[in-house]
Amino acid sequence: MPADIEMLYDEHAQALFAFLLNFTRDENDTRDVLQEIFIKLARQPDLLHVARDERAFLIRLAHNAAIDLMRRRVTRAKHQEQFGAEKLNAFAETTDPDEAAFREELAAALGELPSDQRAVVHLKLWEGLTFEQIAEALEIPLNTAASRYRYGLDKLRARLRPLYEEIK
Amino acid sequence: MNGDDQFEQRLQRQPLREMPSAWREEILSAAHKTESSHHRSPERLAAQKRGEGGWRARFWPHPTAWGALAAVWLVILGLHFTAHETTINNFARHSAPPSREMRELLREQERLFAELVGPIEKPDADRPRGVAPRSQRRETFLNA
């Protein structure tokens, strides 16, 4: 069983990390949630037996755990601390100044999106999931997934268009 | 290819940050620690001894087969209840009150029968017997 956990980690942890980092906008939260997921998998090794799509199932676990974390934090702190407030770059560093500026701007624009739109945009653009898979992973209707993507992308386009046109 | 598609592709090409490599050991060791303590917990061992928790492992490998079996049982139950309802409906149809013509025919037959045979005397068994008071009944029993 330990080998299974390691195999699962090597196969999915990077994707879960990127999703959680983009969703929570906090590296510590990302780590906590990631650890929580792998502890859960170690405790319940048969958890994945019911999953049709392993990646979608793990993203659903990650999404639910991140939302639980947000709720706990809001209750504890008694103030509306939302994911996304922190300025965090979820993209790789680059030496190209134009690319660096675009990635920074993109990260900021993503941070301004509501977290539910951000989750869909991330899964569609960087995870390459279909709307059907996204709907399954986030437990939302297919049309909702599609519309959240469209709204999110429109906002990114509006925000990034000047820079995009300049460095295109 | 329009500008919107190009914009989407430009976003897709942005490489995401790599996960810190030190996390692997930290997260996996935390998972293994929990795993071993969980597997060794007295409650879990006791449950394993009792055979609890094994039902899922026994039944889960063939969910389609179990689903099909459940569906067959549902069909059987459905047929059973449909047949039962049909029998009741048939019975109700057959025991429906006779029509007006039938009633008149029966009355006519009864009248003819009465003319032929004369008034029918009720047998003794049908006549109401005078019931003795309870105290007398006891006396009769004691005298017997």
Average pLDDT estimate for B76-94: 79
Could you tell me if residue B54 is inside a domain? Answer: yes
> Does residue B93 surpass a pLDDT of 80?
no
Q: Which burial class, exposed, middle or buried, applies to A30 when counting CB atoms under 10 A from its CB (0-12, 13-18, 19+)?
A: buried
The predicted structure's pLDDT at residue A80: 45
Could you tell me if residue B57 is inside a domain? Answer: yes
Could you tell me if residue B14 is inside a domain? Answer: no
The residue written with tokens 């279909």 in the block is A130
Average pLDDT estimate for A17-42: 92
CATH class, A95-168 region: mainly alpha
* Inter-chain residue contact A6 with B28, CB threshold 8 Å: yes
pLDDT over 70, % of chain B: 56
- Contact assessment for residue B3 and residue A157, using Cβ atoms and an 8 Å cutoff: no
Structure letter (DSSP) for residue A53: S
The predicted structure's pLDDT at residue A3: 54
Three-class secondary structure of residue A126 per DSSP: coil
Which residue in A115, A108, A34, A122 sits closest to A82, CA to CA? A115
Of B8, B19, B27, nearest to A14 by CB-CB distance is B19
- Contact assessment for residue A103 and residue A89, using Cβ atoms and an 8 Å cutoff: yes
Instruction: Supply the range of the domain harboring residue B50.
Output: 24-61
Could you tell me if residue B142 is inside a domain? Answer: no
Chain centre distance of CA A10: 18
The predicted structure's pLDDT at residue A1: 46
Chain centre distance of CA B126: 48
- Contact assessment for residue B98 and residue B106, using Cβ atoms and an 8 Å cutoff: yes
pLDDT band at A79 (very low <50, low <70, confident <90, very high): very low
Q: Residue by residue, what is the 3-state secondary structure of chain B?
A: CCHHHHHHHHHHCCCECCCCCHHHHHHHHHHHHHHHHHHCCHHHHHHHHHCCCHHHHHHCCCHHHHHHHHHHHHHHHHHHHHHHHHHHHHHHHHCCCCCHHHHHHHHHHHHHHHHHHCCCCCCHHHCCCCCCCHHHHHHHHHHC
- Contact assessment for residue B19 and residue A11, using Cβ atoms and an 8 Å cutoff: no
Q: Where are the domains of chain A?
A: 1-83, 95-168
Specify whether B29 is located in the same domain as B54.
Answer: yes
Of B11, B19, B57, nearest to A17 by CB-CB distance is B19
Q: Tens of pLDDT along A133-153?
A: 999 999 999 999 999 999 999
Specify whether B50 is located in the same domain as B33.
Answer: yes
Chain A nearest-CA distance from B53, in A, is 11
Could you tell me if residue B113 is inside a domain? Answer: no
Among chain A residues, CA nearest to B38: A43
CATH of domain A1-83: 1.10.1740
Chain A nearest-CA distance from B96, in A, is 54
> Does residue A83 surpass a pLDDT of 60?
no
Spell out which residues of chain A touch residue B38, defining contact as CB-CB under 8 Å.
42-43
Supply A79's token pair: 């103030």
Spell out which residues of chain A touch residue B35, defining contact as CB-CB under 8 Å.
1-2, 5, 42-43
Spell out which residues of chain B touch residue A34, defining contact as CB-CB under 8 Å.
23, 27
Among chain A residues, CA nearest to B13: A126
Using an 8 Å CB-CB cutoff, list residues of chain B that contact chain A. Answer: 4, 7-8, 10-12, 14-19, 23-24, 26-28, 30-32, 34-35, 38, 56-57, 60
Supply the Cα-derived Rg of chain A in whole angstroms: 17
Q: What is the ipTM of this complex?
A: 0.80
Indicate the number of domains in chain B: 2
Q: Tens of pLDDT along B47-69?
A: 555 555 555 656 666 778 888 89
Predicted TM-score of the model (pTM):
0.61
Chain B nearest-CA distance from A165, in A, is 10
Specify whether B48 is located in the same domain as B69.
Answer: no
Cα gap A126→A156, rounded to integer Å: 15
Average pLDDT estimate for A118-125: 95
> Does residue A109 surpass a pLDDT of 50?
yes
Is the sign of the CA dihedral B107, B111, B116, B121 positive or negative? positive
Q: Residue by residue, what is the 3-state secondary structure of A86-123?
A: CCCCCECCCCCHHHHHHHHHHHHHHHHCCHHHHHHHHH
Spell out which residues of chain B touch residue A38, defining contact as CB-CB under 8 Å.
27-28, 30-31
* Inter-chain residue contact A43 with B60, CB threshold 8 Å: no
Specify whether B47 is located in the same domain as B69.
Answer: no
> Does residue B124 surpass a pLDDT of 80?
no
Could you tell me if residue B86 is inside a domain? Answer: yes
> Does residue A18 surpass a pLDDT of 60?
yes
Cα gap B45→B39, rounded to integer Å: 7
